[in-house]
Amino acid sequence: MRAWAVVETGKPLQALDLPTPEPKGSEVLIEVTHCGVCHSDLHIWEGGYDLGSRGTLSLKDRGVVLPLAMGHEIAGRVAAVGPEAVGVAVGEEKVVFPWIGCGKCERCASGEDNMCPNAARTLGIYRNGGYATHVLVPDARYLVPLDGLDPAVAATYACSGITVHSAIRKLGPIPPERPVVLVGAGGLGLNAIHMLRALGHRRIVSVDVSPAKLEAAKAAGATDTVLAEGEVTKAIVDACGGPALAVIDLVNGSATARFAFDALGKGGTLVQVGLFGGEMTVPLPLMAIRALTLQGSYVGSLDDLKAVMGLAREGKLAALPVTTEPMSEADAVLRRLRDGKVTGRVVLRAEAA
């Protein structure tokens, strides 16, 4: 198989010819047709995460080994199955759930592989992923039928889709007319707008530094937009008609975390999703006085993926704006994403497509 891999952090991806895996046991070999390029890939490519005063969390600290074919938003067809694989046949089109855990702990047993504390086996991070012609999946249970959906769009549901679905669920029950604030109008932000609308929400406030991305947010269904410059907290409060009770920070850098926190009203919840980096200083008395909730959210579960795919099949979930590029252009696409030149999502298209 051919893979476009990180061989050295921060350096151009290299095209490598590797042995095509042969599935054993319950494993399933997928021939990749599409793979989304996610902002998380940038952190892996660049070598780590900014932890503010605590330094940097490096790839080595996370147990990532190079060379690595990134890519965790994967759609493709079943190319081969192991002798113990059940419920799957060669030729079927699938979306791959990539956030695979040890398969043995309490979290994995409850379907929360993404929260596995032991031996994460995430595709595209700890194992070769979808920037390749083939990917090996440990078990057929991590495959969700495509069922006629556009594979380029459906691939994004395996990260972008489930990430926003999981974050929205963490806000708890929300009346349809209560504003939900989304910080960031990139691929995640636009997907979050579509997801909120699919779930019946009617007041959505999008915040971003880019006027062009805010225009895309309006087109996606945001009812209000805030340009993140000057007195951002005041602008958010004004857009909501009062202090916010539900904020999802899809950027989650030092600056966005601060103005998002400051915009919260009594009983408000801030769900932090993005990995931009930095740190947050919280005035502790306000946490109690305002009864605030800060909640981290890390991607989503297999059930989240099934729910998102279900919304899409029912026609409730509008498609994220997606452009496709040949798999061989993976390095160039990463650089465009790094430079903020991507609106919506770019999905790599393999020759098998």
CATH number at residue 80: 3.90.180.10
Cβ-based neighbour number of residue 131 at 10 Å? 31
**Is 122 in the same domain as 15?**
yes
| Chain-centre distance for alpha carbon 155 | 11
The string of pLDDT tens digits covering residues 183-238 is 999 999 999 999 999 999 999 999 999 999 999 999 999 999 999 999 999 999 99
Quick check: is 181 in a domain? yes
**Is 145 in the same domain as 12?**
yes
**Is 269 in the same domain as 237?**
yes
**Is 228 in the same domain as 332?**
no
Q: Give the whole-angstrom CA distance, residue 72 versus residue 124.
A: 5
The string of pLDDT tens digits covering residues 122-141 is 999 999 999 999 999 999 99
**Is 134 in the same domain as 223?**
no
Integer CA distances (angstroms), 131 to 80, 87, 137, 162, 195, in order: 19, 26, 14, 20, 26
Number of domains observed in the structure of the chain: 2
The string of pLDDT tens digits covering residues 248-260 is 999 999 999 999 9
Quick check: is 34 in a domain? yes
The answer, yes or no, to whether residue 74 has pLDDT greater than 90, is yes
**Is 84 in the same domain as 137?**
yes
Quick check: is 250 in a domain? yes
The string of pLDDT tens digits covering residues 80-122 is 999 999 999 999 999 999 999 999 999 999 999 999 999 889 9
Quick check: is 302 in a domain? no
Q: pLDDT > 90: what percent of the chain?
A: 95
The string of pLDDT tens digits covering residues 273-298 is 999 999 999 999 999 999 999 999 99
The answer, yes or no, to whether residue 18 has pLDDT greater than 90, is yes
Provide the pLDDT for residue 52: 94
Quick check: is 238 in a domain? yes
Q: Give the whole-angstrom CA distance, residue 85 versus residue 348.
A: 28
Provide the pLDDT for residue 353: 87
Provide the pLDDT for residue 78: 98
Provide the pLDDT for residue 98: 98
Q: Are 232 and 209 within 8 A, CB to CB?
A: no
**Is 51 in the same domain as 137?**
yes
Report, as an integer, the average pLDDT of 47-65. Answer: 91
Binned at pLDDT 50, 70 and 90, residue 61 comes out as: confident
**Is 188 in the same domain as 58?**
no
Quick check: is 308 in a domain? no
Provide the pLDDT for residue 239: 98
Quick check: is 267 in a domain? yes
Provide the pLDDT for residue 105: 93
Token duo for residue 42: 């940038």
186 — phi, psi (to 5°)? Answer: -80, -150
| Chain-centre distance for alpha carbon 181 | 18
Report, as an integer, the average pLDDT of 300-305. Answer: 97
**Is 221 in the same domain as 255?**
yes
Report, as an integer, the average pLDDT of 164-174. Answer: 96
Q: Are 44 and 125 within 8 A, CB to CB?
A: yes
- Return the closest-CA partner of residue 322 out of 97, 160, 207: 160
Q: Give the whole-angstrom CA distance, residue 168 versus residue 165.
A: 5
pTM: 0.95
Q: What CATH number does the domain containing 222 carry?
A: 3.40.50.720
SS3 content of the chain, % helix, strand, coil (to 5): 35, 25, 40
Quick check: is 303 in a domain? no
**Is 24 in the same domain as 145?**
yes
Mean of the per-residue pLDDT values for the chain? Answer: 96
What's the one-letter identity of residue 306?
K
**Is 175 in the same domain as 134?**
no
Q: Each residue of 224-256: b (16+ CB within 10 Å) or e? A: bbbebeeebbebbbebbeebbbbbbbbbbbeeb
For the packed helices 39-46 and 330-338, what is the interaxial angle rounded to 10 degrees?
100
Q: Which residue range forms the structural domain that includes residue 21?
A: 2-150+319-349
**Is 127 in the same domain as 23?**
yes
Q: pLDDT > 70: what percent of the chain?
A: 100
